[in-house]
Structure 1
């Protein structure tokens, strides 16, 4: 049995990756199954216990629960406790729709349940009067919702399906997150831009990962935090489906850094880091805004943090990388302007080919340089490095951003 919330410990993404995943893996190896205990002390030590959860860790918890429920082919048991120590966190999770999404809810007036956790519903309701902000809700995006699967059947190409989904999610994302984006001066003037980026990421999650995508945005007095998580096929399998074109040959950056042998890390684990770099590189070449552009906007323009986790590896991007990111950003802008000219002017010939290939090679060199710098810092002191490696694999793609209030 694994406790989700520990006494006097805030359940954060860091705790999730470093402690909780390990405890879950050990429990499965020992017992052959897993049961979640909502809080460490249960109904004991009620007046000596305090429990907290960082809101952006909720999509991670849902994503893991969904993975486990698929593996065991049944919902995972969650033992709930309702007492003075748990009422506030239970209230927040209930009113943020965590239990509606995780459970077996079939009421169309609430988010449809994904049936990934099994719990006693009588513990929910009749909470304290304090209500969280209505926009502070966890969201689940799925092709099984709103009849999307049948709607996509009329389109033949992946590009047509993608364009349709993005048009659907732009409206939904604006409904879900626009008010929160307005509340931060670093995002208020770029609301449309962030709506575009988030719609792209959600589309990637449901279309390419072939899984549910969980997301939550949370605003407090200090920052805006956003988390998006899926347990789909992951970056590597997604990249394998990409076709070679003028600018991109699948795994070309990864093949180069594979041969550098800078880090003395398990090859299977370091492969995940190299796939992350490959994904960001591919995103920097695309003719639409996406993951790379989100990273640049969060870190360079807002002095925030961008975290990207895949399987056993994670990269944490901050303004400590400003010099390299600024160079990459300028090259990306130059390349994107050409993409826009080609699209707007309906150019069919190859007049820009040489210029685009030159920019692509410069972007490749910048990523190689960034990789070398990041690895050198890891070798010198891994505790303060921008990369993290974990023994327990967490399937899928998990993105977290933190944008400070100016």
Structure 2
């Protein structure tokens, strides 16, 4: 049985990736299955135990649990304990809708249960009076919600489906996160930008990754943090299915990266990392704000950090890489301005093709340089580098962001 929360360890995304995923994998290998208990010591050592969870870890936990429940074709057992040591974390998980989403809830006033965890409801009671902020909740997005799957049948083209979903999620995302974004000085004047980006990312999760998507945003006096997690097809399969257009040739950056070898690691794990870089490059060419713009806004405009994880690899971008990103930011803004001008004026792309192609080639070259610098820094000191590699595969796409509250 795997403990989700260890005594005196706050379950942050870092410990989720480095400790918890290993524990899950070892349990599956040694015990032939998986079951969870919420806390390490259960009902023993009550007054010597302390349990805590970083709120933005919750979408990762739900995403992993959904993967496991799909694999075993049943809810995963979770042992709960309601005592002096657990009441604070139980209270937060309960009031953030974690148990409603993970369990079998059918109450229409709460999120519909996904039936991915099996636990005893009687442990969820007698909580402390403290009530967390009402919008510090796990959000669940799926084509099964709000008749979206049925509405999508009215469209045949993928672009039309995407545009429809983005328009739908723009309202939902604004309702979920606008107040939280307003409470941070670094996001208050960029609310529309973040709503646009988050709507795009959620649409990617439910439409292109063909997956349910979990998200949570949390604000305190120090920072705004949020995470988005899906357990869909991942970046590799998604990019392999892309069609060429006048700016993007599928896998063109990866082909450039394969011309040289800097990292001597497992080829499959290296492929995961290369596809992360290709994804950011692809996003930098698009005519709508997305993943790359989120990274630039968080790191360059807010001095925060951005983490993107796929399968066995992740990249962590912080203000230490500002120098490498400034030129890319300038090129991206130039290209995006042309996209917007064409959209507003209704002009043919032919007139802007030479300039757009030149910008694209420059962006491609800068991504090659960025990749080389990231890899060289990893070789110099992998402990403090911007890239992490893991033996345990965590399927899907997982994004975490922290924006300081200046």
Q: Same fold (TM over 0.5)?
A: yes
Please state whether the residue corresponding to 1:37 is helix, strand or coil.
Answer: strand
Q: Does 1:119 find its partner at 2:92?
A: no
Q: CA deviation at 1:348?
A: 2.4
Aligned mates of 1:323, 1:44 — CA distance in 2: 51
Of 253-262 and 275-284, the range deviating more from structure 2: 253-262
State how 1:252-401 maps to structure 2 within 5 Å: 252-348=252-348, 350-401=350-401
Alignment check: 8 A CA contact 2:272 2:311 kept = yes
Q: CA RMSD for the aligned pairs? A: 0.7
* Residue of structure 2 equivalent to 1:40: 40
Per the normalisation by structure 2, the TM-score is 0.99
* Residue of structure 2 equivalent to 1:221: 221
Of 234-243 and 305-314, the range deviating more from structure 2: 234-243
* Residue of structure 2 equivalent to 1:247: 247
Please state whether the residue corresponding to 1:136 is helix, strand or coil.
Answer: coil
Which ranges in structure 1 are unaligned for 5 or more consecutive residues? none
Aligned mates of 1:180, 1:345 — CA distance in 2: 35
Which ranges in structure 2 are unaligned for 5 or more consecutive residues? none
**Residues 349 and 332 (structure 1), Cα distance of their counterparts in 2 relative to 1, 3 Å cut:** closer
* Residue of structure 2 equivalent to 1:190: 190
Aligned mates of 2:226, 2:84 — CA distance in 1: 29
> How many matched pairs?
406
Aligned mates of 2:49, 2:125 — CA distance in 1: 21
State how 1:121-200 maps to structure 2 within 5 Å: 121-200=121-200
* Residue of structure 2 equivalent to 1:30: 30
Q: CA deviation at 1:260?
A: 1.4
Q: Which runs of 4+ in 1 moved over 3 A?
A: none
Alignment check: 8 A CA contact 1:258 1:274 kept = no
Please state whether the residue corresponding to 1:110 is helix, strand or coil.
Answer: coil
Q: CA deviation at 1:263?
A: 0.2
Q: CA deviation at 1:345?
A: 1.3
Q: CA deviation at 1:125?
A: 2.1
Per the normalisation by structure 1, the TM-score is 0.99
**Residues 254 and 349 (structure 1), Cα distance of their counterparts in 2 relative to 1, 3 Å cut:** closer
Aligned mates of 1:122, 1:217 — CA distance in 2: 28
Q: CA deviation at 1:107?
A: 1.5
Please state whether the residue corresponding to 1:154 is helix, strand or coil.
Answer: coil
**Residues 351 and 269 (structure 1), Cα distance of their counterparts in 2 relative to 1, 3 Å cut:** same
Aligned mates of 1:316, 1:295 — CA distance in 2: 10
Q: CA deviation at 1:126?
A: 2.2
Q: CA deviation at 1:349?
A: 5.0
Aligned mates of 2:24, 2:146 — CA distance in 1: 34
Aligned mates of 1:257, 1:321 — CA distance in 2: 20
